[in-house]
Amino acid sequence: MQNNELKIDWIDFFKFIWSKKILVIIVIALGLIGGIRHSSDMVANYSIKLPYSNFHAWNAEDLLTETQGKWRSSLTDNLLLKSSKIKNLKDSGIDGFLIHETNQPMNLNKYIQELDSISNSFAAKQYNRQLSMLKTYDTYSNEVKKTEYYAEKVSDSINTIKRYESGIVYAFQIHHPDLFPFMKNEIGVVRDKNEKLKMISFYVFISIFVLSLYLFISYLREKR
């Protein structure tokens, strides 16, 4: 140290660290072990991911409201998957996934039955809504009835009504994950390992930070 300025020979500093390599290994190992031990007490979290295909219009917000936030939807394009898998899903008619997070997963068939019931409810509501809309459209003026917009709206309502009355009484159809072997371990009941990894990484980071601070201070004291 000269003229009250702190000057460090970084090559010499790294040699100093290397001379303490056993200490470094021990501290990092202790951090790793501590992280593993503490993370073992954490409750495992699971994501239930079920693929679906659309048959009637419905809103993701309605699903959140209907299930009080239990289920949410994600479009196929929004999933963090390889492009080849996304293509395979789309080719299979999959529009997205319904996702539920829990630490007490049930049998998949129970989730499918639950969502089938919601799907039927959404389709029935959409059917009744379109019947009501047709009556409303009929009250429009003759000028409005001549527009292309009016024709499209009426056509959409009629098509929805016919689709429902033909037997398609579900807004979306849930597909069992076993039908998609190329998505094994990525859909169905998926255990979330991120929380444990975060805990272990945190302990290792704290160990390295404290160790680095200790080595830096020790080096300065030694070079006084």
pLDDT for residue 10: 80
For the cut 80, the answer to whether the pLDDT of residue 204 exceeds it is: yes
pTM greater than 0.85 (yes/no): no
Termini Cα distance of the chain: 7
Domain boundaries, the chain: 10-41+197-222, 45-192
| Mean pLDDT comparison of 27-31, 155-159, 193-197, highest-scoring range | 155-159
Tokens standing for residue 190: 């998926």
pLDDT for res 133: 93
Residues 46, 189: contact at Cβ < 8 Å?
yes
Q: What is the mean pLDDT of residues 96-115?
A: 92
Give the confidence band of 1 by pLDDT, cuts at 50, 70, 90: very low
Contact 186, 49 (CB under 8 A): yes
- Grade residue 109 by pLDDT with cuts at 50, 70 and 90: very high
Q: What contacts 105, CB < 8 A, 6 or more positions away?
A: 46, 48, 189
